Structure 1
Amino acid sequence: MSAVTGGCFFMAVHCRVMPSSSSTSKPKLKPISRTTTTNLNGNRGFKKKREEVETEGIREKQNPYVLELEKKEMEFTSSMKSFHYYFEQCKNFFKQDSGPPRWFSPLECGSRLDNSPLLLFLPGIDGVGLGLFQVHLHLLQYDSGLVKFVERTVRAENYHSPKRPIYLVGESLGACLALAVAARNPDINLSLLLSNPATSFEKSPLQPLVSFLEIIPIEHQLSLSYMLSLMTGDSLKIVMDNAVKGIPVQQIIGGLSKDVIAMSSHLNCYVYLTLLLDTFLVWNVLPVLIMKIDGFVSQDLAALLPRETLLWKLQMLKPASEFANSRLHAVKAQTVVLSSGKDQLLPSEEEGQRLFRALPKCENIKFNDSGHFLLLENGIDLATIIKGSVAFYRLGIHHDYVSDYVPPTPSELKKLYESNRLFLIATSAVMLSTLEGGKVVKGLAGIPSDGPVLFVGYHMLMGYELAPMVSQLLLERNILLRGLAHPLLFMRKKKEGTLPPLSDFDLMRVMGAVPVSGTNLFKLLSSKAHVLLYPGGAREAAHGKGEQYKLFWPEHPEFVRTAARFGAKIVPFGVVGEDDFGEVVFDLDDQMKIPFLRDEIRRSTEEEGIRVRAQINGELGNENIHYPWILPKFPGRFYYYFGKPIETEGREQELRDKDKAQKLYLEIKSEVEKCLAFLKEKRESDPYRNIVTRLTYQAMHGFNSEVPTFEI
């Protein structure tokens, strides 16, 4: 078990002194005060002057922002610990010791935030607590009376800080323990994160292993090693995840060889490692090496988990599973279940769905290609999961989308960019902004650096404009845009239905999206954030045939008065290109004419939907949940035009008058329409509007190069 700083925003148990600052682990997160900032300065910033990179070579001259992002992410991932750390630490913890269970908290975790919540890690069958060694966890060895032991710690911490949440991260067997503690303490502010919980043990192939271990002769230790290989899952995926990070081949092979050394050093099988270092032979011998790796890992596990120890721990699984299942009805804690699709020890994918239905406040996140040791895989980041899960990370009893927000790490920013890389290349966005004097320039120089700033504009079909806009503001101006999003990204009336699972939107929440509401707009502007608001909302994003570039704004100018209260600058903007990218061929009107589609839309709207504009009569208040059918086109180009910022500072008293606020509201709407008209006209003279001409240019100048556009 362990207490964790988890990227330095959790507090470690029994570790009240400031940890060493010399750690080379993941970069520290800046302290997040009650007033948040959206300008990512310091070691997580990516702003870089063009004149500084033009002397660094042709590639950097082409796209300095992307290269700086890659550099930061490389620095971030290079500090991740390897398998060598895991095996060495495991050896240190498997010693003859008849003492009670206890918590460990390494000092290398880095500084923590004030009033940060507590996280305790409850390990799985390995019992070491190193399942999260990638993010610096602290260890506890198993012994009897574990439920009461953890319970005493939880109650003591709750007594000292009753409003601060306590996180229990349980892995397989540890997940059963976490559920048991939560069931016995429903009044304590607990949050559970369960990785492949062993509550499904009755359906596990491990059950026959218990009887087998009771009779297996000691000389058949290799048979035991083979059976333990089930615990390692897909060794190729684990090794390659740790080695392959989009870096040169030499470094891939170097990283791969290091991981194999870590797995096989205890067995002195260096003949295979020599082959790995030969770049010409590596891909020919890789399949054989992976088979050897499986053997190495399972033999190491056999050494770390002798037959008697493994038998004892397997025998604990059945009663632990039965006890947790019998108490599920009493679990009231918010729960996130992580379930692997390729878990060879437990039917975790099915179990995730079962717990999702059984627990009242539960979210299930699937990892289709992961094995049992999910948290050992390099692509899995516990901190990102905690930040992305709906209202999961909090500093008090209730979650606050503004004060509890933790800005993204370099790795998370890189993930956002990489997940949209092909789309960004296909759309090759043109960004225009307006300086204070009214001059229109290429790029985002006209965007105010200091908040509060409120971006108000046109919502393109299905929100396709978001990825290029958010990415470019981060890369070029170091500005994190906090979007006011539809509540369906954060909550549902019912757990299961036709809508995508909430976990599909985790990355949006990591990037700062919040449910649209007057309260959240108020909090964001008061924290001097850069905020994105679409007055047209879902009606614009799911518009019908022939309705592109048409605004569907309500009549009430509430955001104007809120912006004036904090002296926010309002940036009107337009974006065009959706008609070059896709065409609506079957809209809401068409779907409502077909009986079974009409019934499905009404059912989804009534049973799953959350109405944002219930108080508005007419078309804008009718928010039927549907997806327009879109016919893709040969990808065109996206064009963004940010108009001149509108000042509201000093106008709070003036804009309290409804008529004057309405006048400014209509002025902002008119500016957005002018931005759209300007872009539709100017794109006609863009020689690179067609994707063929853009790809030809990039083939000649590099795919990271900036493609020219029309003259302003």
Structure 2
Amino acid sequence: MASTIKVLGIRPNHIIHGLDFKSSISQINGMCFGVKESRRTASLGSNKIKKFAYCEGINEGEIEEHLEALWDDGFGPQSMRDYFDYARDLIRNDGGPPRWFTPLSCGPPLKDSPLLLFLPGIDGLGLGLIMHHQSLGKVFHVRCMHIPVHDRKPFQELVEWVEGTLKFEHSVSPNKPVYIVGDSSGGCLALAVAARNPQIDLVLILANPATSFERSRLPLFLHSLETLPDDFHATVPYLLGLILVVDPLKMVKVNISNPVQHPMQYFKQLAGNIAALQPWLRDLAEILPKETLVWRLKQLKQAAAYANSRLHAVKAQVLVLASGKDDMLPSGEEAWRILRSIQNCEIRCFKDKRHNILMEDGFNLLTIIKATGTYRRTKNHDLVVDFLPPSISEFKQLIESSRWYHNYTSPVMLSTMEDGTIVRGLSGVPRHGPVLLVGNHMLMGLEIFPLVAEFLREMRIMVRGIAHPTLFSHFLEGETKESSVCDFVRLYGALCVSPSNLFKLLRMKSHVLLYPGGAREALHRKGEEYKLFWPEEPEFVRMAARFGATIVPFGGIGEDDIAKIVLDYDDLMKVPVLSDSIRRNNKRYSSFNVRDGMAGEVGNQPLYLPALLPKIPAGRLYYLFGKPIRTMGRDEVLKDRQQARLVYLQVKSEVETNLSYLQKKRNEDPYRSIIDRIVYQGQAPWPSIDQIPSFEL
């Protein structure tokens, strides 16, 4: 037990609101609770070890400085069953005040991780992040606020109490942001604290904030509750459950197997979850008895009014997460109102989620934080240093959601060893960076996802792409503010094309993906498949030589087997209405033309969307990574522009050679057609994600 407690990261003798933590452990014994393996053996106040325990400091040797790709974020195993299990311990009347606790499953976080304070919803337990403890605890110092069931502290005092912790932590680490996750009513508290402390670097993440209290059903519910006879007290938790708790179907589906792949196991786990949740109404009545519920709703009314009157004073960075099926609050409308009221604000809408979004199946809070570019360790956001690579659960989700595309394209990956031998897979690509992967763009970047996914799957290496600025602009987010292409490219490490970003990535010894042809190559015309549109100057060679990077030229083909261009740029410009729209948009995007002023076709990079049709039966994608070109120790490449140009021409020639090789060899592939691949697999329409054989090498 001692070793389990050790990783929590609460400093000994830590002063919290005038109480010495070490000497007052009996008063705040709810400070920490453990994962399920730490079986509780006694009630609070006994002398036996249980989930609530004193926390020792972390051994410095246990702290990691960075995460590896496909790290285990532990997302998924917790569920509503665990919520009610832990709640039974937290709701016992110990007479104590509100307090912070750190779940045992949270630690230890990465070196220099920021603090995250969780402010709970109307239940006050502080268990709203139970599904996210392990993932958030890897990159944050997590502390959850617990308000005892019988505590009657006014809202103003709660604000001051949280503010005290905030000011203390800011004084300890003035150069780090403090994250505050506010769930429902906790969102009002977070906004109130932020409005009072504009000088502190805060990042607010508000999950369906209850600032829309007056426009919800809650005032009517409060009035009905106050007039409800005592004889109907037993109906209170039922009514509350309909409003506060997530969709029961989603509750019982948390943490169970895919029904298609494991039907028997699925139904067995489903039955177990349903049986375990039978007593939830009784537990809810203990979590929020009528008197407490009335007090909390009245407090929420004050909190909403307080926060709304001070929205203009909020200077923090704010991310609002809004559910489209919130039966408790008009969260979708409220998110847009907050967006218009706070200057530094972003919103994300989830049309199929309900009010208690943080406890819904499949909702990964850390993924949202990463995808929106919200995670940072210092005041200045460093896109290279602050990047968190995809976790194993994120990668699995990506593979499942894009399985159709993988099966449609069935990518073939080849690489070249140092002796020139071509082999299947990526074993010819150096594992240790810095490595610069330089190749051709296929139409609309069709090749990018399979390439990045295969490096993760086979080598556990995150390839960082250098991408066009439009992929990071608000123009691609859409009017609905749901997850977008922008979120995807940020989640998987792409950076806006610039010399400084390439410099940082190579300095960090990353694997970097570079397309010298840029948008002109990705948006080429009919008949220009696999034609290179590279600039004359060796833009990247000298940068690679500066860090001794290995350049790996590669070629990719298959777009002409996957999709057909029906209308290209030249066709669209002949249509009056469409041509006017393209001209207006390109004028709007003029600042995004990174090749503006360059001579020839490479500088001709108008942005447009070609009209495409999928080809049936489809072919497949082929990749060949050429022989690595070393720049380590080649000072002449760094100092002599002519020598750099020779290496540049060598890289370009190798890419063209790879393209020619693949175009010739694919004609020998017996499984080039999707029909042949399905027959080979014998399980249409979802073949295995493993590679299907291709041509002989």
1:102 paired with 2:99, answer: yes
1:710 paired with 2:678, answer: no
The residue aligned with 1:184 is 196
Q: How far apart are residue 198 of structure 1 and its match? A: 1.0
Per-residue displacement from partner, 1:647-684 (whole Å, max 9, x unpaired)? 11111343322222122212211211121121111111
The residue aligned with 1:241 is 254
Letter in 2 for 1:616: G
Q: How far apart are residue 466 of structure 1 and its match? A: 1.5
The residue aligned with 1:292 is none
Q: 1:84 aligns with which of 81, 84, 87?
A: 81
1:408 paired with 2:414, answer: no
Letter in 2 for 1:439: T
**Segment of structure 1 superposing worse, 164-173 or 525-534:** 525-534
- 2:605, 2:214 → 1: CA distance? 45
TM superposition score normalised by structure 1: 0.82
Contact kept in structure 2, 1:453 and 1:528, CA below 8 Å = yes
Q: How far apart are residue 606 of structure 1 and its match? A: 4.2
Which secondary structure state, in structure 2, belongs to the residue aligned with residue 134 of structure 1? coil
Q: How far apart are residue 197 of structure 1 and its match? A: 1.0
- 2:437, 2:229 → 1: CA distance? 71
The residue aligned with 2:112 is 115
**Segment of structure 1 superposing worse, 119-128 or 592-601:** 592-601
Structure 1 portions without partners, runs of 5+: 46-71, 267-296
Contact kept in structure 1, 2:33 and 2:101, CA below 8 Å = no
Q: 2:146 aligns with which of 137, 140, 151?
A: 140
- 1:499, 1:11 → 2: CA distance? 44
Per-residue displacement from partner, 1:545-573 (whole Å, max 9, x unpaired)? 22221222222322111100111110111
Letter in 2 for 1:629: A
- 1:457, 1:500 → 2: CA distance? 33
Contact kept in structure 2, 1:123 and 1:171, CA below 8 Å = yes
Contact kept in structure 2, 1:233 and 1:343, CA below 8 Å = no
Q: 2:550 aligns with which of 529, 553, 569?
A: 569
- 2:440, 2:333 → 1: CA distance? 42
The residue aligned with 2:267 is 253
**Segment of structure 1 superposing worse, 507-516 or 661-670:** 507-516
Q: How far apart are residue 464 of structure 1 and its match? A: 1.5
Per-residue displacement from partner, 1:406-437 (whole Å, max 9, x unpaired)? 22221112122222212111211111111101
Which secondary structure state, in structure 2, belongs to the residue aligned with residue 365 of structure 1? strand
Per-residue displacement from partner, 1:73-119 (whole Å, max 9, x unpaired)? 9xx457x2232321132232224465432212234422122321000
- 1:176, 1:135 → 2: CA distance? 21
Contact kept in structure 2, 1:20 and 1:111, CA below 8 Å = no
Letter in 2 for 1:209: F
The residue aligned with 2:675 is 692
- 2:214, 2:520 → 1: CA distance? 49
Which secondary structure state, in structure 2, belongs to the residue aligned with residue 103 of structure 1? strand
1:130 paired with 2:127, answer: yes
Which secondary structure state, in structure 2, belongs to the residue aligned with residue 336 of structure 1? strand
- 2:480, 2:579 → 1: CA distance? 16
Q: How far apart are residue 510 of structure 1 and its match? A: 2.6
Which secondary structure state, in structure 1, belongs to the residue aligned with residue 84 of structure 2? helix
Relative distance call for 1:308 and 1:499 in structure 2 (3 A) is: closer
Relative distance call for 1:528 and 1:11 in structure 2 (3 A) is: farther
Bigger RCO of structures 1 and 2 (CA < 8 A, at least 6 apart): 1
1:652 paired with 2:665, answer: no
Which secondary structure state, in structure 2, belongs to the residue aligned with residue 193 of structure 1? strand
- 1:101, 1:569 → 2: CA distance? 56
Relative distance call for 1:84 and 1:452 in structure 2 (3 A) is: same
State percent identity of aligned pairs.
Answer: 48
The residue aligned with 1:68 is none
The residue aligned with 1:456 is 438
Letter in 2 for 1:187: Q
Say how many residue pairs are matched: 636
RMSD of aligned residue pairs (Cα, Å) = 3.2
Contact kept in structure 1, 2:409 and 2:619, CA below 8 Å = yes
**Segment of structure 1 superposing worse, 123-132 or 91-100:** 91-100
Which secondary structure state, in structure 1, belongs to the residue aligned with residue 519 of structure 2? helix
As a proportion of its length, which structure holds more helix? 1
Which secondary structure state, in structure 1, belongs to the residue aligned with residue 101 of structure 2? coil
Structure 2 portions without partners, runs of 5+: 23-31, 39-60, 134-142
Contact kept in structure 2, 1:342 and 1:372, CA below 8 Å = yes
Relative distance call for 1:419 and 1:253 in structure 2 (3 A) is: same
The residue aligned with 2:486 is 505
Relative distance call for 1:173 and 1:624 in structure 2 (3 A) is: farther
1:365 paired with 2:348, answer: yes
Letter in 1 for 2:447: E
Contact kept in structure 2, 1:10 and 1:117, CA below 8 Å = no
Relative distance call for 1:375 and 1:474 in structure 2 (3 A) is: same
Contact kept in structure 2, 1:433 and 1:446, CA below 8 Å = yes
- 1:8, 1:512 → 2: CA distance? 29
- 1:537, 1:621 → 2: CA distance? 10
1:661 paired with 2:661, answer: no
- 1:629, 1:450 → 2: CA distance? 40
- 1:495, 1:21 → 2: CA distance? 42
**Segment of structure 1 superposing worse, 89-98 or 313-322:** 89-98
1:432 paired with 2:411, answer: no
Letter in 2 for 1:140: H
Per-residue displacement from partner, 1:559-598 (whole Å, max 9, x unpaired)? 1111001111101111111111111212233333444434
Contact kept in structure 2, 1:491 and 1:502, CA below 8 Å = no
Which secondary structure state, in structure 2, belongs to the residue aligned with residue 126 of structure 1? coil
Please give the residue correspondences for 1:453-492 in structure 2 after superposition, counting only pairs within 5 Å: 453-492=435-474
Per-residue displacement from partner, 1:461-511 (whole Å, max 9, x unpaired)? 12121221112122222222111122333344x797679866443343232
- 1:329, 1:159 → 2: CA distance? 25
- 1:442, 1:318 → 2: CA distance? 64
Letter in 2 for 1:411: S
Relative distance call for 1:698 and 1:610 in structure 2 (3 A) is: farther
Q: How far apart are residue 21 of structure 1 and its match? A: 11
Relative distance call for 1:414 and 1:30 in structure 2 (3 A) is: farther
Please give the residue correspondences for 1:624-635 in structure 2 after superposition, counting only pairs within 5 Å: 624-634=606-616, 635=618
Which secondary structure state, in structure 2, belongs to the residue aligned with residue 139 of structure 1? strand
The residue aligned with 2:337 is 354
Which secondary structure state, in structure 2, belongs to the residue aligned with residue 649 of structure 1? coil
Relative distance call for 1:467 and 1:192 in structure 2 (3 A) is: same
1:385 paired with 2:368, answer: yes
TM superposition score normalised by structure 2: 0.84
Contact kept in structure 2, 1:569 and 1:646, CA below 8 Å = yes
- 1:368, 1:11 → 2: CA distance? 41
Letter in 1 for 2:367: T
The residue aligned with 1:205 is 217
Which secondary structure state, in structure 1, belongs to the residue aligned with residue 682 of structure 2? helix
Relative distance call for 1:520 and 1:452 in structure 2 (3 A) is: same
- 2:311, 2:191 → 1: CA distance? 7
Q: How far apart are residue 243 of structure 1 and its match? A: 2.2
Contact kept in structure 1, 2:349 and 2:482, CA below 8 Å = no
Relative distance call for 1:532 and 1:596 in structure 2 (3 A) is: same
Letter in 1 for 2:145: L
Letter in 2 for 1:241: V
Contact kept in structure 2, 1:420 and 1:467, CA below 8 Å = no
Q: 1:326 aligns with which of 291, 309, 323?
A: 309
Relative distance call for 1:584 and 1:421 in structure 2 (3 A) is: same
Relative distance call for 1:120 and 1:22 in structure 2 (3 A) is: closer
Please give the residue correspondences for 1:523-542 in structure 2 after superposition, counting only pairs within 5 Å: 523-542=504-523
Contact kept in structure 2, 1:431 and 1:444, CA below 8 Å = yes
The residue aligned with 1:262 is 276
Q: How far apart are residue 313 of structure 1 and its match? A: 1.4
Contact kept in structure 2, 1:242 and 1:256, CA below 8 Å = no
Per-residue displacement from partner, 1:24-65 (whole Å, max 9, x unpaired)? 69xxx99554xx68x64xxx57xxxxxxxxxxxxxxxxxxxx
Q: 2:166 aligns with which of 149, 154, 162?
A: 154
Letter in 2 for 1:102: R
- 1:591, 1:30 → 2: CA distance? 59
